[in-house]
Amino acid sequence: MPFVNVKIAGPGLAAEQVAILHREVTGLMADVLGKKAALTAVLIEDVAVGGWQVAGRPVTCAAHIDASVTAGTNSAEEKARFIAQANQLLHRVLGDELPLATYVVVTEIAADAWGYDGQTQAHRQVAR
C-alpha cells in the first residue's frame, strides 16, 4: 500500500510527462520495492517555481519524490536501487536542469500507523 508524492517545479508539465511519471513511478514501486501496482497511489503536484530554492537561490526546474512504504518491508539495497532509478527517471523526463539537490525519499511508516480501506497494514498482516 504505497503512496508516492512527486513534486515538480518549473515549466508546466505536458500531459505525456505526467503520464510517464505516473506509469514509471508505479512500475518502480512494483519492480524494485515489490509493491502491488494495483494498490500504489501516485500524486504528481505541480508547484510554483518561485517557491523553490536550492542553496538559497531560485531554480528553473526542481523535483522531489517521497515514497511512503510500510516500515521493514524493504532492504537497504532495494531502497538504494529505487532512489537511483527514480532519480534517473526524473532526469529523463525533466532534463538535466534539475539541481544536484534533487531528493528521492523512502519514508517508512509503522504498520499500525497507516492503511487503506479502513484497515491498518498491521491488521492486514495479522489477517493473512
**Three-class DSSP category at 26:** helix
Q: Quote the pLDDT of residue 12.
A: 85
Closest CA to 93 of 1, 4, 2, 14: 14
Task: Determine which one of 2, 11, 58, 99 is catalytic.
Answer: 2
Q: Give the residues across from 106 on adjacent strands.
A: 67
Q: Count other C-beta atoms under 10 Å from residue 107's C-beta.
A: 13
Q: Quote the pLDDT of residue 127.
A: 76
pLDDT more than 70, % of the chain: 99
Q: Count other C-beta atoms under 10 Å from residue 85's C-beta.
A: 17
Q: Residue 120 is placed in which grid cell?
A: 491498518
Q: Model confidence over 38-57: pLDDT tens digits?
A: 999 999 999 998 999 999 99
Q: Residue 124 is placed in which grid cell?
A: 492486514
The predicted model gives 19-31 an average pLDDT of: 98
Would you give the end-to-end CA distance of the chain in angstroms? 15
The DSSP secondary structure of 57-101, one letter per residue, reads EE-SSEEEEEEEEETTSS-HHHHHHHHHHHHHHHHHHH-TTS-S-
Query: Does residue 128 surpass a pLDDT of 90?
Result: no
Residue 2 annotated in active site: yes
Torsion sign over Cα 11, 21, 76, 109: positive
Torsion sign over Cα 49, 91, 80, 44: positive
Q: Give the residues across from 66 on adjacent strands.
A: 5, 105
The predicted model gives 65-90 an average pLDDT of: 98
The predicted model gives 12-37 an average pLDDT of: 96
Q: What is the dotted CATH code of the domain comprising 3-127? A: 3.30.429.10
The predicted model gives 85-89 an average pLDDT of: 98
Q: Judge if pTM exceeds 0.85.
A: yes
Where are the domains positioned within the chain? 3-127
